[in-house]
Structure 1
Amino acid sequence: MKKPLILAVDDDPQVLAAITRDLRQEFRQHYRLLPVGSGPEALATLDALRARAEPLALVLADQRMPEVEGVEVLTRARELFPEAKRVLLTAYADTTAAIRAINSAQLDYYLLKPWDPPEQLFYPTLRDLLASWQATYRPAYDGLRLLGYQWSPRSHALKDFLSGYLVGYQWLDFEQDAEARTLLAATGFSAQELPVVIYRDGQAVAQPERQELARHLGLLAAARQELYDVVIVGAGPAGLAAAVYGASEGLRTLLIERQTPGGQAGSSSRIENYLGFPTGLSGSELTHRAWTQATRLGAELMAPQEVTSLAVQDGYKLLTLSDGSQVRARAVVLTMGVSYRTLQAPGLARLSGAGVYYGAARTEARSCRAQPVFVVGGGNSAGQAAMYLSGFASRVYIVIRGGSLAASMSAYLIEQLTQTPNVEILPYTQVCEACGESSLEAVVVQAEGQESVCYPARALFIFIGTRPSTEWISSLALCDPKGFLLTGRELLADSRFAQAWLEPREPHLLETSIPGLFAAGDGRSGAMARVASAVGEGSMAIKFVHQYLGE
């Protein structure tokens, strides 16, 4: 953490050197000293310190300076750093002006020059002032900041991205936080250019693209090797498990993720039925552990990057990425998983990212404090989101088409929900409309055989149905009618298999209709929608990769 600053201002170089010497002798262990040689320079320095959110503890300014007097410097310091202590340095003849300044500029003290010896005439006063400042000082946040509008889809997308990669950041709502407006003015950007990201080094970027943000955060943007033993597409639980086992077994392993790691599991607020964690863990925590483990073992993780097509050339797999670059591999494991289906009702598309969210309960929960929210869906992801939101929202409504949650949700979650007083389940109900101008204000729902009802709502979180993320590969590898990848023995039952499979052997258990192309996790036909089974399939896929490479 940065040491707080003491700013000393005097236009006389000899006097400034003496002040700096005395300050350094007594306070350098706990404070940084910043000498400035003129009033205008001091004003510019104060603006720069405020823009960088530097902690300023004390300002000492000489009164008699050309262009800008000491009182003006201290007045500006009070505007930008109201908690900082302000001391005017003055000669005996200027004491009347100093006394007046105590009232007009609300100075904390004035000191007469010279102050020899400083042990008696200088240090005691400054020690008292600094002790008073320290008593109320709260270190400012010095990490990445995100300035924006709470109900802006662009702001939501950036929050979701940063949260997905477990990047610590401070969110500042431009409409609610005065600090956000001050910081934005210091960056030189306008309100129309929000959202703005301010990095730890002070660099500010307006409306950054995900790739630009990823590069600044140190994420891998391009492949480092010409040929990999295995490339894994998708960093959900299955993909992360495959990366861990592939790297640990000596394979040159690359994992490519187009959005954020963890997949649907990564957005889960609490997973309580995963083996080995009796008190449960969040999806982001599980993702972070697996990501760290894979990296430590030598896997390369490229993100955010999307694979747009795959071709087979002489047995090698050639993957083309969204930026036009290509990656070559001997084998590929597809672990793209699934994505939530969009809900069709008036107003939902228009308010997406502005109160209507697909997943994202952890990202936006704090914005719903003491407000009613709706969760649509009856699966475990919906239940986990509802439990998490119940700690923030005044009331959580779970909207389901069926009569109960028993058919699609784990028993432990149902029990928790029924015991939570501010959670209400609305059975046989569907969302008819989302209402609001710039953000969600109300939700219209209708139960079977009843009139529609309009509820006030701050947010609507949607967790309905899933579809496989296989659009880009379905023309090459065989899929079932719903788009899930066929593998292993399921291929043998498909009439198209005889024309697609040209190898003398049967396909391996998790192998698709393309030799050396494997599938694991929720995007595979017949897979179980559970974190543990996805991890198991990702691990198994590496065993079959080894068998394929050894043929």
Structure 2
Amino acid sequence: MVQAANPARTVILTVDDDPTVSRAVARDLRRHYGESYRVVRAESGEAALDALRELKLRGDLVAVLVADYRMPRMNGIEFLEQALDVYPGARRVLLTAYADTNAAIDAINVVDLDHYLLKPWDPPEEKLYPVLDDLLQTWQATDYRRVAITKVVGHRWSARSSGVREFLARNEVPYRWYSSDEPEGRRLLSAAGQDGLRLPLVVTPDGTALVEPEDRDLAARVGLATTPAASCYDLVIIGGGPAGLGAAVYGASEGLRTVLVERTATGGQAGQSSRIENYLGFPDGVSGAQLTDRARRQAAKFGAEILTARAVTGLEAHGAARVVRFSDGSAVTAHSVILATGVSYRRLDAPGVAELTGCGVFYGSALTEAAACHGHDVYIVGGANSAGQAAIYLARGAKSVTILVRGPSVTKSMSHYLVQQIRDTPAISVRTNTVVEAAHGRHQLEKLTLRDMATGNAELVDAQWMFVFIGAAPLTDWLEGTVLRDSRGFILTGPDLTADGRPPAGWELDRPPYHLETNVPGVFVAGDARAESAKRVASAVGEGAMAVMLAHRYLEQS
């Protein structure tokens, strides 16, 4: 139970125009927080503002505001925006229906929204209380003052501006976006002594101005861990996707001194997914960002160290030690290593695409750009699950979504449930036997040349948005000469190393490699980087846990 600094005078305020929902929210809050906080409820935005003003006059503290989005006369965002003038330090939560998630995302920039919750929130022990606990702890830690936020000034069609926004969003760093064309954006540029020719400008919470920052510098400035706390670990995990996070949770929970090293942001490709509906335990689906956040917090709870924006460039075996080298020349040693580097989307090789990447052309979901697609025609290239999930998500606001597939159908490469959803969504169409032949635009994507592979006919179409999901390439080139890989770069393990009945060259142990073990003893692989892996979130998490079990077995025998 989170304890308030002044229990008798600290308030959690909830507002919902539906009396039944209003009473239910207040009931659940009082049940969990009633001994330490006073729960005040209102049934309209106006009534809630009146209550806040009375509380202000009495000198009461307000820790959290919970507002329903769909209220007549004054919706939840409008209420929270006015409430900021009264209690700027209160944490802000928006209650939304599934169809209103775009509005909730927009509210992050409008009112510095701390969290949005989908209704219903049952069971509150899983969906409501953990969120409120975190917000109350944050409120107390900031001495009840409004949290300073990172500010990003950039251009709508600047590739690096888009990259910075995506980096901050995927690492769950709160930020506010300002266009370089708007007054506040110009004021920030002027204050930093910049003319706007070099973008983006990032102003960190402590007031430091960073111009076109690299990910590692940005990570360090906004409070992400980038430097290992020790020089030696029981377990080093390379890669922070589902497999890496699964390994971090199990490794740390079983007492291994564990560090996870991620080059961009935890979650991997799965973390960019707008909705995963076939993951065990989430019958209503879960976004990749939500799943990643829970896994990251779970790993940290058990004591795993997580490093962000650190590129690993080498792996060496020196006796029983495994040395992991970073791009800056530093290194850590480990008793065991799990490679969970995952895969990256293959680049679309067509004229104009490279020049427009980040300026209308994006690889993966790029959820920070989704709101800007509202009312526009969107093209998605690819026919696997990631493409289908993105299409369903973008179709909520886009004028139309067209999936471009090289093959004759999507049924072989996409899960059945997604195929059915696409067929039932009028805004989505699928064009088979179609490839992108060229992308056109001076400063941003404007048109695409599409070719029908069956007829050979080419067509020029208007397009401002294209999201590409065209297969995966393993991120394993840095392992050349150390770890054995197949012809496509995927890492060989266990039975694949002993297919001819003999151990791999250089293997010195009197046992064959374990199932997920590479040709280097004590170095294991989990997830998509492994040859013949299933390429599914659930299997990656399972392999992460299994790799930890095998690492334990290796350590016990060493």
> Shorter chain as normaliser: what TM range?
0.7 to 0.9
* C-alpha distance in structure 1 between counterparts of 2:322 and 2:147, whole Å: 46
Equivalent in 443, 446, 451 of residue 446 of structure 1: 451
For the 8 Å contact 1:361–1:385, the answer to whether it is kept is no
* C-alpha distance in structure 2 between counterparts of 1:261 and 1:485, whole Å: 21
- The one-character-per-residue Cα deviations of 1:427-482 (angstroms, maximum 9, x if unpaired) are 11000110000110111101121421111111111000111111011321111111
Residue 355, structure 1, aligned to residue 334, structure 2: no
How far the C-alpha of 1:156 sits from its partner, in A, is 1.1
- The one-character-per-residue Cα deviations of 1:245-279 (angstroms, maximum 9, x if unpaired) are 00000001010001111111011000000000111
1:325 aligns with 330
1:486 aligns with 492
Equivalent in 445, 456, 461 of residue 455 of structure 1: 461
Equivalent in 242, 251, 254 of residue 247 of structure 2: 242
1:158 aligns with 164
Equivalent in 508, 520, 543 of residue 514 of structure 1: 520
How far the C-alpha of 1:395 sits from its partner, in A, is 1.1
Residue 193, structure 1, aligned to residue 198, structure 2: yes
Q: 1:494 to 1:465 in 2, by over 3 A?
A: farther
Which amino acid is 1:160 matched to? E
2:277 aligns with 272
2:307 aligns with 302
1:116 aligns with none
- The one-character-per-residue Cα deviations of 1:401-437 (angstroms, maximum 9, x if unpaired) are 1121100111111111111111111111000110000
For the 8 Å contact 1:361–1:389, the answer to whether it is kept is no
- The one-character-per-residue Cα deviations of 1:362-404 (angstroms, maximum 9, x if unpaired) are 1211222211111000000011111111123211110001121
CA RMSD of aligned residues (A): 2.2
How far the C-alpha of 1:153 sits from its partner, in A, is 1.0
Q: Structure 2 matches for 1:91-106, cutoff 5 A?
A: none
Which amino acid is 2:169 matched to? S
* C-alpha distance in structure 2 between counterparts of 1:496 and 1:344, whole Å: 41
Residues matched between the structures, number: 421
For the 8 Å contact 1:362–1:388, the answer to whether it is kept is no
* C-alpha distance in structure 2 between counterparts of 1:227 and 1:141, whole Å: 35
Which amino acid is 1:395 matched to? S
Q: Which moved more, 1:498-507 or 1:276-285?
A: 498-507
For the 8 Å contact 1:141–1:170, the answer to whether it is kept is no
Which amino acid is 1:487 matched to? T
Which amino acid is 1:166 matched to? E
* C-alpha distance in structure 1 between counterparts of 2:392 and 2:457, whole Å: 28
Residue 425, structure 1, aligned to residue 437, structure 2: no
Which amino acid is 2:199 matched to? L
Equivalent in 460, 470, 474 of residue 476 of structure 2: 470
Which amino acid is 2:246 matched to? A
- The one-character-per-residue Cα deviations of 1:312-362 (angstroms, maximum 9, x if unpaired) are 111200111011111000000000011111111110011111111111431
Equivalent in 384, 399, 402 of residue 379 of structure 1: 384
Which amino acid is 2:491 matched to? L
Instruction: Give the 3-state SS of the residue equivalent to 1:190 in structure 2.
Output: coil
Flag the structure with larger Rg: 1
Equivalent in 147, 152, 167 of residue 153 of structure 2: 147
1:224 aligns with 229
* C-alpha distance in structure 2 between counterparts of 1:230 and 1:528, whole Å: 24
Q: Which runs of 5+ in 2 are unaligned?
A: 1-55, 62-83, 87-144
Q: Structure 2 matches for 1:339-354, cutoff 5 A?
A: 339-354=344-359
For the 8 Å contact 2:205–2:222, the answer to whether it is kept is no
Q: Structure 2 matches for 1:496-511, cutoff 5 A?
A: 497-511=503-517
Q: 1:306 to 1:351 in 2, by over 3 A?
A: same
2:15 aligns with none
2:178 aligns with 172
For the 8 Å contact 1:246–1:542, the answer to whether it is kept is yes
Q: Which moved more, 1:164-173 or 1:236-245?
A: 164-173
Q: Given the two structures, how large is their TM-score scaled by the length of structure 2?
A: 0.72
> How much identity, in percent, do the aligned residues show?
46
1:13 aligns with none
Q: Which runs of 5+ in 1 are unaligned?
A: 1-25, 32-54, 58-138
How far the C-alpha of 1:172 sits from its partner, in A, is 1.8
